Chains A and B, each alone.
Chain A
Amino acid sequence: MTNNSRGARAWLRRVAGLVRKEFLQIRRDPSSYLIAGLLPLLLLFIFGFGVTLDLRRVPIGFVIEQSTPEANSLLDSFRNSKYFKVQIDRNRQQPEEDLVAGKLKGVVVLAADFSERLGRGETAPVQILVDGSDPNTAGLVMNYAQGVWSNWLEQEALSQADLAAGRNLAPPVYVEQRFWFNPDIRSQNFLIPGSIAIIMSLIGTLLTALVVAREWERGTIEALMTTPVGVSEFLLGKLIPYFLMGMFAMCIAASTAVFMFDVPFRGSIPALLIVSSAFLYAMLPLGLVISTLTKNQFAASQTALIAAFLPAFELSGFIFEIDTMPLAIRLITYLLPARYFVAILQTLFLAGDVLSVLVPGTLALLAFGTALLAVLVRNTRMRLE
């Protein structure tokens, strides 16, 4: 019994010693600071400012073949819209060239007989051309242009009162939209929490990917083997310091999102801390696995980029919808910790502590981390072969 507790105390002392050694090394090596402190900030700024799907004054052309009061009032509606920057033309040639060149994203065309047809009580078509080479913008331009047009139609109905002429201006069935959690439809509100998940995938993996590879490269791992340190002490000695570094990076990223980019945070801080810990529990062993397998800093950092960053960026649902992907790729996404973390962070920031998202996601992360740790314990041998 006493023997056992003495053994446990010695074990604990060895872990504490290794953790302290790792912290000293972190303090003396600027590259860890850079990865945990500067890299998340830099990436979050690029993602935060650079990646946004909100149309912000899209350049469109507006062709009025014949100037009439009706045509001009529709033009004014487009000019007053906060989504469009309007360039006016008399004929279609110039704006069509600009559409090919990519200078305009869409063209609204009112034919010469637009007002005449309106006046005669016929259906007057409004033609909208959009540039399909960017499908997302094309879809949004179509939706917004349609919105401007239907508002204009309602206003015309109110102001002209030519309902008396027997014409139907209001459709019998109409749509009312409510966007929950994000009523202003600001894309940054969900892109920034998602990008935190991607940045943390990279940082979590990169932090640990480099360290074991470094020990192998410098031969210090052989020095460790001559000591009583076993596999469990070695792994804990690596995981604890980098876990703390990772949580530090997470705090920086989350507070930047809230205070710099005005993303609301509707969840609770304990929930955020718990899921971030679960995520790091999954990502840090991944880095260790990579560096144990490659035993070389260069290959480790490169594998970390390919194995952590690219899939997190492309397959986590952060910007590209997972439901749209073919089945085979959808199945792969279930193996990505980032997939769960993106969904959890978007929910925590925008919706609150929704247990039906948080609990399954956290359990998946814990399972992923435990499986990796099992692989690690099997593959880490404290002896030369």
Chain B
Amino acid sequence: MWQRIRTLIIKELLAIWRDPHSRLILIIPPTIQMLVFSFAATQEVKNVRMAVFNQDLGTAARDLVARFDGSPNFTYIEHLGSEQEIAAAIDSRNVIMVVHIQSAFSRKVAQGVPAPVQLILDGRRSNAAQIVAGYAGDIVNRYAMELLDPRHSAPLASVVVTRIWFNPNLEGTWNSVPALVAILTTLMGLVLTSLSVARERELGTFEQLLVSPLSPGEIILGKTLPSLLIGIGEATLMILVGVIAFRVPLHGSLLLLYAAMVVYLFAVIGVGLFVSSLAKTQQQAILGGFVFMVPAMLLSGFASPIENMPDWLQWATLANPIRYFIVIVKGIFLKDLPASIVFQNIWPMAVIGCVTLSCATWLFKHRVE
């Protein structure tokens, strides 16, 4: 029996490699993702353009503007000359923020009256704008602290001390690369499996497989294992690139990561087999895969956090295997996730895998006979 399955696996791997479409899937998405996506898919905010409109000639205002000019967070600062230019700069999306210092600023500071600094932000990009406002707030607060001369006034009543765990510089790639490992693994497991059955059916070679001494169970195993091997292979490549090229720290245990990956791939391959036993052609298979992949990806916590979604949708994401796998991959990379928490996330994937694989096997036998 193992001999037969081994032959089938070798045949599958060869078929995938020789078919130009499958080869395309094997090579193009991972390359694009690695080169483009890992840089692009971050909600980090760097190099944004901002403007300063200073109506005050006093030293305090000049000091504050100098701090904005010197900040590494703002590489491009435009200086506006009139109030009308504020609207033009924001409306045209030229700048994301205008810092407006009114003419009474320096006088108020000198008199010890709290002096406002107005930030005008582009609400069309309100997420990035909030982060930029945070940077500006830091600069203004630090300036305020320095204005408080320690000899003349008592210390501030309270301060906030922030510690960022796991990713102290909030590097975007530390978030996107682990997520990418999960997404690529999904893509490989899902698309390769769903295509392999659909292709055999379209070419008519599926009947030949059926009259061979292989049992349906063996055929399914022979279709599953190659996708599993390729999925693990591509994920390994991505992990290596992440660690070597992007210098993402890998704190946790690789053994746990691979154990989780195998369970996860079985769950995804189950979905792929399910889709392909329903599809009659390769085109239907790829559209079916897409219909599963897009919602599953968007609702996995990768594009935006699951906690932000409405409650009913959060419940629905419990059935989404990517959700658990992203927690595991990110956790093992950045947090050295303890085994107990990894297992808390593995068992739902195992349940999903059992359901999808047994549904697929049932459907498979059903459609064959």
Contacts and interface: CB of A to CB of B under 8 A. Distances in A.
Interface of A: 43, 46-47, 49-59, 99-102, 105, 118, 121-140, 142-143, 145-146, 149, 153, 156-157, 165-183, 185-187, 189-190, 297-299, 301-302, 305-306, 310-311, 314-315, 319-321, 323-326, 329, 332, 343, 346-347, 350-351, 354, 356-357
Given A172-B114, A343-B93, A118 B157 contact: yes
A127 B163 CA distance: 7
A320 B124 contact: no
A123 B175 contact: no
8 contacts: A123-B158, A133-B174, A173-B143, A173-B144, A180-B122, A321-B128, A354-B92, A356-B91
Contacts of A324: 42, 44-48, 172
Contact of A49 (B42, B46, B310): B310
Contacts of A357: 91-93
Interface stretch (B205-213, B217-225, B327-335, B354-362): B327-335
Contacts of A57: 307
Interface residues of B, number: 104
Contact of A135 (B44, B119, B124, B159): B44
B117 interface: yes
Contact of A314 (B41, B128, B341): B41
B216 interface: no
Nearest to A213: B283
B161 A50 contact: no
A329 B38 CA distance: 11
Given A46-B299, A190-B123, A131 B40 contact: no
A124 B39 contact: no
A40 B89 CA distance: 34
Interface in B268-314: 281-283, 286-287, 290, 294-295, 298-299, 303-305, 307-310, 313
A173 B109 contact: yes
B301 to A, nearest CB: 8
A179 B123 CA distance: 5
Given A133-B334, A343-B93, 17 more contacts: A59-B307, A100-B335, A132-B174, A135-B42, A135-B167, A136-B43, A136-B127, A138-B170, A173-B115, A180-B120, A180-B123, A186-B126, A189-B126, A314-B40, A323-B45, A325-B39, A354-B91
A interface secondary structure, majority: mixed
Contacts of B40: 314-315, 320, 325, 329
A185 B126 contact: yes
A8 to B, nearest CB: 39
Nearest to A152: B158
Given A127-B161, A325-B39, A329-B39, A175 B140 contact: yes
A301 B286 contact: yes
Contacts of A176: 116-119
B3 interface: no
Given A127-B161, A174-B117, A321 B283 contact: no
A185 B141 contact: no
A49 to B, nearest CB: 5
B104 interface: no
B353 to A, nearest CB: 22
Contact of A356 (B92, B112, B303): B92
B10 interface: no
A298 B21 contact: yes
